């Protein structure tokens, strides 16, 4: 066994620690937040990778994010959506994730598993998806859907 002479610990353990510390600092997402995303996704029967893509696009993993339009928290829920999804504390990571994941699951069910339509509805509202009979012609919504699906499918 090779030891790190300065601290008398096995070299392999030292190397593993250095690599894990480097990868943790390179990632903007804490292990704790990734676990919360995973737990909320699984609870709502969603792929954690999809929820992570939504969070990345919506808030950049910023728990305190607030848009100019008033959307709040990790998954950028609007006040009306927060009320209907029973999100009492939109800036509380777990409350935001659980409520928004439930809403996303409802949209996916509504559109019979069509992620494109569900994501468009999450962004622009189901009424707009119905009105335009598909992804609304809003550049923001079209870009939003493409970004999330691209991240999700990587």
Residues labelled as active-site residues: 58
Q: How distant, in Å, are the alpha carbons of 16, 31, 33, 54, 100 from that of 23?
A: 11, 11, 15, 22, 28
Q: How distant, in Å, are the alpha carbons of 2, 64, 92 from that of 71?
A: 53, 10, 14
Structure tokens at 121: 């509805």
Is the backbone of residue 18 left (phi > 0), alpha (psi -120 to 50) or beta? alpha
How many C-beta atoms surround the C-beta of residue 110 within 10 A? 15
- Residue indicated by tokens 């493409």: 146
User: Cα(first)–Cα(last) distance of the chain, in Å?
Assistant: 39
């Amino acid at each position: 066994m090779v030891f790190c002479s300065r601290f008398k610990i096995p070299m392999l353990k030292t190397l593993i620690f250095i690599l894990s510390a480097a990868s943790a600092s390179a990632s903007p997402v804490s292990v704790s937040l990734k676990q919360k995303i995973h737990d909320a996704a699984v609870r709502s029967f969603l792929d954690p990778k999809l929820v992570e893509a939504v969070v990345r696009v919506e808030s950049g993993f910023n728990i305190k994010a607030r848009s100019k339009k008033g959307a709040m928290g990790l998954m950028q829920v609007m006040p009306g959506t927060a009320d209907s999804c029973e999100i009492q504390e939109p800036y509380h990571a777990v409350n935001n994730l659980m409520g928004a994941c439930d809403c996303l699951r409802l949209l996916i069910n509504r559109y019979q598993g069509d992620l494109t339509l569900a994501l468009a509805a999450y962004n622009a509202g189901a009424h707009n998806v119905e009105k335009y009979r598909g992804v609304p012609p809003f550049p923001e919504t079209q870009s939003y859907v493409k970004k999330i699906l691209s991240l999700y499918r990587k």
